[in-house]
Amino acid sequence: MTVYSFKVLPGVTAPAGAPANPLINLRNAWEGAAPLAFQAILDALGGAYDVYQRARLAQTWIDLYDAGLLAKLDSIHMLGLTEADSLINWAGGAAAVSTGAAWDGVAGHTTDGVDDFVTFGNPSAMPDFLQNSACFGIFCADETGVVSNTYQVGMNISGAPDNTLYSIQTGTDTVAWAVQTSPTTNASYEGAQTGMWLANRTGATAAQIYKDGVQIGTTSQASTVLRNGSLSLGRQSTSFTVANAAAFVAGAGLTAQEAADLSAIISGHVAKVQGWAV
């Protein structure tokens, strides 16, 4: 994997006036007719995002490109240092969406690729997020359990007990499986939620289940409305603490090696996210 060196300057804030979707600028810079230097790719993010945020996003993007995974991931949504300056708007209330993305009071959010950018309200105040994606993963830094409606997008949290956590869902069918049904353990699912979980879909079926890049199970439930993937890096909402950093990952038709590579890249990124101020 190519290593790109850059200087990180925490606390340095770029000028105000962030674009609606900084990823469009980043993609255009990376894929343009005249490829830009790495610093120019960072600068293309612009807006009110500090140097550290932009560096982490761009480095993750390029790591995925080098690993041959970017073509299988349609979008990246990344949270910032605080809820106020996040790349995702956690102000609460109704979400703002761009062309191609949609908000539905029952289904929640849907988005179908990099040209769509969704800013979210407080997840505790809105319905489930249904991602048009092929894979699903979650990273938690500890084993304190899942609190109803406090986790970031990409999950369906419902039922009794409230901490039942399901992966991507279509209608009433769970595409992957319940990660756990008690605060810390579920013997059917390897005991604890800590780690990177992936449900890798091939065609219309979520077939392989990975934890930290290692296949641990299979499922064959249909996924008729999900499309090629998205990638979301982030954390919980108002109940967030450094110990509970979370990430959601999605892609399409990954091989076992690609699943392991994706897990390593994103886990490495989340390890850095944990150190951010809250």
- CA triple 18-23-29, angle to 5 deg: 100
Kindly tell me the sign of the dihedral angle through the C-alpha atoms of 199, 131, 248, 194.
negative
Asked if the model's pLDDT at residue 68 lies above 50, the reply is yes
Q: Which range has highest mean pLDDT (62-71, 97-106, 171-180)? A: 62-71
pLDDT in tens, 209-249: 566 666 765 554 433 222 222 233 333 233 333 223 333 44
- Which residue has 């008690």 as its token pair? 182
Alpha helices in 16-72 (DSSP H): 22-31, 38-45, 51-66
Question: Does residue 267 or residue 130 have the better pLDDT?
Answer: 267
pLDDT in tens, 72-93: 553 343 332 222 223 333 333 3
pLDDT in tens, 141-166: 222 332 222 222 233 222 222 222 33
Strands 205-211 and 214-218: antiparallel
Give CA–CA dist 81/235, Å, rounded. Answer: 10
pLDDT of residue 55: 57
- Which residue has 């690609």 as its token pair? 258
Q: What is the pTM of this model?
A: 0.41
pLDDT of residue 118: 35
